[in-house]
Structure 1
Amino acid sequence: MERRKRSPFSDQINALIVPPKFKMPTWKVYTGREDPVSHVNNFEIQTDLQGVRDDVRCRIFPTTLSNFSQQWFFKLEPGTITSWDTMVRFFYSQLFAARIPSTELNDLVDIKQGPDEPLKDYVQKFVQAATRSKTVNDDGKVMTIMDGIQVKGPLGNDLRRKTICSTREFLDRTNKFIKLEEAIRRADQVNHASTSIAIPAKNNGSPN
């Protein structure tokens, strides 16, 4: 009784009975590295073949997950899962990152700042890719982001003057240059707009 009170399932789901003749699907359990959508689709197909549909699937689904992949489920508040749709939604929200391939060192090496690309855009592009990496350590990230940046002018001199030991330090050091670059760009836009104002042409025609 106490276990049911702590269950993420609602009372209605806990009351559902799995058919006695139901045989557990035999494919590999979900570990967090596979595609969660494919896992759900395969589960629905195999349970449908045995006549198990809709919310009864909730009672079976956690057993198709590895111990590690079940952690999100047991952390849910009691009574959270009220239907099969709810179960699938929570499963996707917790584990959908498994569909995104991890960024490797070679992927980061390929990220370069374009000739006319703003520093801010390059840094954001690199950081977004780096956060998906599960194998590249911080030293590797610093090395590759430094290699891909167009280190010219005062930024290049500043980066060369002192060794950068972490991506956090790199971001702190480049932040002031990003602000300077944006200020210069805004000033250029204002100057361009002011010089683009059309000057009324003189009327050389004879008066009427």
Structure 2
Amino acid sequence: MTNISMSPFTNKIERTDPFRRFTMPYFIPYKGDEDPNRHLKHDCSTMILYRNNDALMCKIFATTLQGEALDWFHTLPPQSIWSFNELSFVFTKEYSSNHSIKRTSDHLFSIVKDHWETIRDYVKRFKTEKAKIVGCNEDIATATFKNELSTEHPLFGKLLMGEELNLAASYTLAEKHALWDEAKQSNKNESEKKHMERSPTREDSAPKTFTKFTVPISQILRKLKNEPWFELSSPMKGDLTRLDHTKYCAFHQGPDHTTNGYLKWKQYLEKLTNEGRLMRKITKHTN
């Protein structure tokens, strides 16, 4: 009787026992750090078969509270809760600061596709944000999905010309283009791999002893480049955007390595040395 008198529930609720065949459903516990309305909806949907049993709804709801939320429940005045509606009211009022902001269809206008973002990732992110909007306007969703795409991407043109396309059809078309983009990227990566295999070999991958000079061999290049018999290496071709642009080779006329570290320049310099074409003012010695 002492426990009943200290309970936030009235005596009528406390004295109500569950049905003999009642099986306790599984609940996601509430610890006081999430949206109370969401937890309340979860509780009501789980207990939908017992909605008419007000006392059972109250007592079962109390078992879903943990941590801070359970501590709060035990601070309620004794016998102050006489119905599930009253319990719901004080619960949502206590945790009103955790209410999720209700988004409208206009929220989709804030979704901007980044230039580096793939079509597949954009579709996934757009779907996630749309799912947060209750009763989202399909026309607005379709328009915003299209308008955030790059006008230079072929998908934008197809969506623009396809006036009858709904959002589901737009998703399908976008996913097909995502496969196309991924195939093109795969081919590009394969091409770059082959290019890198044909790119200049550095000294550290093919060690060799070369003639050493009293001045850096990059300076020798400046002294020889005006000689009529001197030949620079062909400039690098292909996509150079992935190469290391903090380094530059004057002999190869491209990034990714230094002049001093370029094997072909050292080999060419060795060839000129053996032919006796180097200017005498360049003093040299061998290992």
Report the TM-score range of the alignment, normalised by the length of the smaller protein: 0.5 to 0.7
1:108/1:129 contact within 8 Å kept: yes
Q: Give CA deviations for 1:12-39 in whole Å, capped at 9, x if unaligned.
A: xxxxxxxxxxxxxxxxxx64388x9xx9
**Structure 1 residues 2 and 134: CA distance shift in structure 2, 3 A:** closer
Instruction: Compute the displacement of 1:180 (Å).
Output: 0.7
Q: Superposition RMSD on alpha carbons, in Å? A: 3.9
The one-letter code of the counterpart of 2:109 is V
- Give the count of matched residue pairs: 147
Using structure 2 for the length normalisation, give the TM-score: 0.42
Equivalent position of 1:6 in the other structure: 22
Equivalent position of 2:8 in the other structure: none
Instruction: Compute the displacement of 1:181 (Å).
Output: 0.7
Instruction: Compute the displacement of 1:186 (Å).
Output: 1.4
Equivalent position of 2:74 in the other structure: 47
5 Å matches for 1:1-208?
Answer: 3-8=19-24, 31-32=37-38, 40=65, 41-47=68-74, 64-65=87-88, 100-197=100-197, 198-200=199-201, 201-202=263-264, 203=267, 204=270
Instruction: Compute the displacement of 1:104 (Å).
Output: 2.5
Instruction: Compute the displacement of 1:165 (Å).
Output: 4.1
Paired with 1:165 and 1:33, the residues of 2 have a C-alpha distance of 37
Rg larger for = 2
The one-letter code of the counterpart of 1:137 is N
2:138/2:167 contact within 8 Å kept: yes
**Structure 1 residues 31 and 123: CA distance shift in structure 2, 3 A:** closer
Paired with 1:63 and 1:199, the residues of 2 have a C-alpha distance of 78
Instruction: Compute the displacement of 1:118 (Å).
Output: 1.6
Paired with 2:153 and 2:72, the residues of 1 have a C-alpha distance of 61
Instruction: Compute the displacement of 1:136 (Å).
Output: 1.8
Paired with 1:8 and 1:62, the residues of 2 have a C-alpha distance of 21
2:105/2:136 contact within 8 Å kept: yes
Q: Which structure has greater helix proportion?
A: 1
Using structure 1 for the length normalisation, give the TM-score: 0.55
Paired with 2:154 and 2:107, the residues of 1 have a C-alpha distance of 28
Paired with 1:105 and 1:2, the residues of 2 have a C-alpha distance of 43
Instruction: Compute the displacement of 1:42 (Å).
Output: 4.1
Paired with 1:42 and 1:117, the residues of 2 have a C-alpha distance of 41
Equivalent position of 2:258 in the other structure: none
Higher relative contact order (CA 8 A, sep 6+): 1
**Structure 1 residues 182 and 102: CA distance shift in structure 2, 3 A:** farther
**Unpaired runs of 5+ in structure 2?**
1-16, 26-35, 43-63, 90-97, 202-262, 275-285
**Structure 1 residues 134 and 48: CA distance shift in structure 2, 3 A:** same
